[in-house]
Amino acid sequence: MDFEEKTMKTEKIYEGKMLNLRIDTVELPDKKYSKREIVEHPGAVAIVALTNQNEIVLVKQYRKAVERELLEIPAGKLEIGEEPKETAIRELKEETGYTSNKLEYLLEFYTSPGFSNEKIYLFLANELIEGQAEPEKDEYIELVKVKLEDLIDMIDKGEIIDSKTIIGAMVARDYLSNK
């Protein structure tokens, strides 16, 4: 079946530094019209960084949208013209100080396709070399390192509640156990 929704009209509501908002008027398969509110996002990367001590590097930061601190894997937005792998190298260095001699692509996913086009490219960073973090001026980050099995436990206990971190932990576990 073909359920494609043709765009009949697009209204730009907001263009910002991190996201844009637009409303599309679409034609449904029955020829009736409906509206779709869409958050445009440049896409992002997230990195499961595995230290030589077999620990995953997490970043703890305050997330204004949810009004609390969250523990997440390092991540960041794609800049214009940047390949996801370049973004992963840059963001890992900025947020954690680590560089990786072996960065592997795992998979990609949409975080919330019901209203946003945000896609996250997930990488596994091995063979890490420690260095100095270079956070952006409005980023306050604390590093936390946990064993992969403890990270899985923290998901079960509801202590890790960020989608990309849950996916990163579970996909990395499968990947590493199949190697």
Instruction: Enumerate binding residues for its own copies (CB under 8 A).
Output: 1, 3-5, 13-14, 16-19, 21, 23-24, 26, 28-29, 32, 34-39, 41, 44, 60-66, 69-70, 72, 75, 107-120, 137-138, 140, 142, 155-156, 158, 161-164, 166-167, 170-171, 174
The residue (of 66 and 129) whose beta carbon lies closer to its own copies is: 66
Q: Please measure the distance between the N-terminal and C-terminal CA atoms of the chain and give it in whole angstroms.
A: 39
- Token pair in block for residue 36: 């779709």
Closer Cβ to its own copies, 78 or 128, answer by number:
78
Interaxial angle between packed helices 148-156 and 163-177, expressed in degrees from 0 to 180 and rounded to the nearest 10: 140
Whole-number Å distance between alpha carbons of 58 and 11: 39
Rank residues 60 and 102 by Cβ distance to its own copies and give the closer one.
60
Distance of closest approach, residue 22 Cβ to its own copies, in angstroms: 10
At its nearest, how many Å lie between its own copies and the CB of residue 61? 6
Element (H, E) at 163: helix 163-177
Task: Establish whether 136 is a catalytic residue.
Answer: no
If the CB atoms of residues 110 and 127 are measured against its own copies, the closer one turns out to be 110
Strand partners, 68: 63
Cα 161 → chain centroid? 13
Phi, psi of 20 (to 5 degrees): -120, 155
Taking the C-alpha atoms of residue 79 and residue 17, their distance in angstroms, rounded to an integer, is: 11
The least distance separating its own copies from the CB of residue 52, rounded to whole angstroms, comes to 26
Minimum distance, C-beta of residue 129 to its own copies, in the bound complex (Å): 25
Catalytic residue among 118, 139, 142, 149: 139
Residue with tokens 């445009």: 40
Catalytic residues: 139
